[in-house]
Structure 1
Amino acid sequence: MMHRFVGPVDWGSAVFDDMVGARHLPYFAELANLTDGDPAWRSVSAGLVVLRLVDAWITEGAGVVAADGWGVRSVEAAIEEMPAGQPARALLRSVVDAVKESPAGDMHAIAPRLMAYARALDLDAKWALAADVYETVIAHVHPVEESDVAITAHLRLGACQRFLGALTEASRTFETASAIATEVNDIVGILKAQIGTAKLALARGNMPGAERILDETIARAAQSDDLVEVRAVALQDRADVAFHRARYDLAVELAYRSRELTTDSINRDRLLADIAAAFYMLGVHTAAKDAYQILEATAQEQYIRWLASINLMEIAARDGSMPLFERYRRALAGTTLPPALEARFHLQTAESHEALGQASAALDAAGRARDVAERYQFNEMLFAAEAVVARVTQGRGAVPLAPEISVPASLRDIAATIRDLRSKVPAGGD
């Protein structure tokens, strides 16, 4: 049974009318997928009515948020219905407070609060909802007079679109971010837009193009101490390119250099995931497993926790631990994953079944990976899925991983640091 809200919100008021076929369609789609009694329903509906309040305040003026207005009281009641302790609750309340206190149409105090709400959705892997909020900000801020917010909103929107598999839309978004940054001579914005474009090139399998863009970005960022964070991000993505070119030792070194430069805790999690993947492919499996277990237990971002679980699933299969592999596989199969991770999950499930000698299951999973990869133009994963099918049908066997090796001398300090971090995390299910 689909949920109908019977709380204090007046859906017939000016703030809530004309809901269907209007703005914020991702919110309506999300609500349609939530069942009766799901706590997420109240969180999503509160976010929706806050965005509608902002829309009405922009188009109709301050009267929408008058102290005695039913609309604003209804929005506040919807926020109070959200689960206690949820970060978005306080963020949405702050948006409403800013709307009530700001001159009509003045987004200076409101845009940063909407950005914070969008970022919370972003980190919870709710990219369609986050993208809608970023689009709301973009629609209501001046691209030049409020260029900092406009550029950041475009960059985050492009990232959400990439995660959702909307690569063409993401490309246009990064182009717009670059154009705004160029107009106001914002070198950080220009370089971050270049990094976004490089990520799209990599997603499409154009590794030479991604490498060229990133090398240029790293060189430009090295010219100023003010660009350290930008250089860290570019190094991170350059490590990703090295990984895809099978330069796993270089990938570990570049990712670790990036991790030393960055102060952003979320990026540090992502870098640890990059280091884990490179260590595993290099053959230093123990260091890889240590890193993934750290991330599964402690990563702030849902996406990274899912990614760690997917990789621990494959490690279990490669180690011949069928019960642990099945536990991870079943848990992930019951999760609604975003497209990029859905394709990766099916691909790594196929490769795991292949390693375990389960040909039929490997073909089924490879077919699912291929379907998702074709739908969203994930060319590299499409090629990998087709390779699994070819190997299995021809009876050639799984591609052997590099055997477990001793940590190379150049990487020993990095592996030791990870081992020390793992020792401080409670033991998982292995």
Structure 2
Amino acid sequence: MLLILGGKSRNDCSRLQKVEDSYYHFAMRISRNNLFISITLAIALITSNISLAQSVEFGVDATGDPNAVKVGGGSGFLYSERIVLTVGHVIGAENPGAVPYWEREGVIYNPGIVTIAGQKQYKVKKVLIPSTYTKPDYMNNIINDDNAVVILSEDIPMTKKAVFATEEQMQRFVREKSKVELVGYGITHGSQRPVTTINNRAPHKLTSTLLSPEQVLAFYRQYPNVDWKKINKPGVYGIVQHRELQQSHICDGDSGSMFFVEENNVRYLLGTTGLGLVNNNCPPPETWYGFPSMSWIDPNSKLRDLLKTAEKIVEEDRKREAEEVRLAAELKAKQETEAKAAAELKAKQEADAKAAAELKVRLEAEAMAAAELKAKQEAEAKAAALKKTTITCVKGKLTKKVTAVKPKCPSGYKLKK
């Protein structure tokens, strides 16, 4: 019997260990700047041989989906304007350089796109991984808290609200056989391998229904090939995928996408991909392992706790940004007030200077006019002082005219009156 765990067979898991061990020794020899490139190349090498992540085979094209986003070579779910939900192994969280790289260089694109060329990039600020996360052991189906939350530095516009479903709602979804959906960015056929980290694939949608924890156990009892040691997550809900009936099935690249039920234009989230017994995804080779695939939903997932932490960080970021905006507005208003006062002072000084200049010109003109008048008067006075006059002097019958500046009659003569 060959049992597939989360899309991995025992042989696949052996190849995974060899590839990752080779990557580890290689990564020790490279510079820090190239660490993430090596990580992503290693992931690409791994996914070319085995299904490190899954995507929707026999799914419906979901281009334009309002929540599905690309996270590296995998998938994620846009939960709110600045929060993307995904899984730890898509981030590569088991590698020490992966989270620092994502927080330094990582970007997320708008939801529902196909190609990334020319698309707006939203910078990653922080990545949250549970402290209890460990590298997935697919051989033994031991998956410990394979969750991640990506926090962005700016808002991605949201058009579809999402909230986590309560367990009461999940129980109702089971009773009502509500349609469960998932939108992922993985491959849709084995011929598309190897999966690369440059994700230009269209998103595709999976549909199924939800099984209760009791129904999960009853489902597995139908199949004698099931290794019950691998049913190691008590209380999980299940989402069956009948690939043998050519119904939608997760495949390479879907890891990080979210299962949800949509009601009244709200998506009620159940959980991420990653848990469960998933087999025969995206052949070739075509193999039947004795039972259909089932993804598991753990109602006690650490993802909800991570989300609360992320929401607090975003709330603090928004408060800080609002305070920065307020302070910037105050500074701008102060600068504008000071600039206005400076402009008014300058205008006053210029007006005063102009008035002073005009006064100076007027005073100078008046002084010049006064000087000219004085000069004229002096000239006139001088001219008057130097002007000769003629008088007539008489002496008996004799008459004599005398012309001088200050004429005087000669001795013996009298001024004729």
Larger RCO (CA under 8 A, 6+ residues apart): 2
Q: Which has the higher helix share?
A: 1
Which one has a bigger Cα radius of gyration? 2
Between Structure 1 and Structure 2, the one with more strand by share is 2
TM class by smaller structure: under 0.3
